Copies of this chain bind each other. A is one copy, B any other.
Amino acid sequence: MIDLMSRYDPSAFPPFAVTVDLVVLTVREHELCALLVRRGEPPFQGYWALPGGFVRPDEGLGEAASRELAEETGLRAHTSGGQIAVGAHLEQLATYGHPQRDPRMRVVSVAHLALAPDLPTPKPGGDARGARWAPVRELLGPAEADREPLAFDHALILADGVERARSKIEYSALATAFCPEEFTVGELRRVYEAVWGVALDPRNFHRKVTGTPGFLVPSGGTTTRQGGRPAQLFAAGGATVLNPPMLRPES
């Protein structure tokens, strides 16, 4: 493979650069937030952008996304089962390859979606560039002309990622990826409320999630960290799909 690469003939096929971009979402203070980094060089110098980078010659697309995620946030990604202390859900989102999306060259970007619990670090990083959690309401809510523009087509990628997250928590158990290892039903409900931007009835929500087999498993303890009556603590169960789904209200 490496040998063949060195014999690569540029006239045989059009050369592309391939990158991964990450839509990293979390819930902070009742708000869905996305991770942005500030670009230090042209093009779009000084603009906020999604974290990402080139795919290396010997790594797969998921590996590249996982590596970028670890570099930016310290999160270990897992696509399904394997539990790690600080873990995030990671999945491929879509691929963006408009010929003029990068003015320098032909770049195809394989966007990935990561869902992470609220991180203790207020400004994630380790990187020299600035980084911040930006509420998606500020990034996507206002009319396109009024909001701060993101680099490249990252506003489109972000919008696709947010929509994927919003629809996926309907029929999968992925909302638990936004929660710490142990959480209460109320905390899970606030995740749904933040991602969807709606208010849910606490009683019906409680009935629904505790009645869905495999969604939640009681972990024994209780907590009072939200105030009020102590709530039972749960961990994510093995279920990945919710059947029947949790439907978004006001359809």
- A177 → chain B, closest Cβ, in Å? 20
**Does A222 reach chain B (CB closer than 8 Å)?**
no
| B103/A60 in contact, CB under 8 A | no
Interface residues on A, range: 35 or more
Q: What sequence of 0s and 1s flags, for each residue 1-24 of chain A, a beta carbon within 8 Å of any chain B beta carbon?
A: 100110010100111111000000
| B14/A98 in contact, CB under 8 A | no
Number of copies of this chain that the complex holds: 2
Most buried by B among A13, A94, A110: A13
| A58/B110 in contact, CB under 8 A | no
Known A60-B98, A95-B61, A243-B251; contact A55-B105, beta-carbon cutoff 8 A = no
Chain A residues proximal to chain B, CB less than 8 Å: 1, 4-5, 8, 10, 13-18, 54-61, 92, 94-100, 103-106, 108, 110, 243-245, 247, 251
**Closest 6 interchain pairs by CB?**
A15-B15, A61-B97, A14-B57, A95-B95, A16-B18, A13-B17
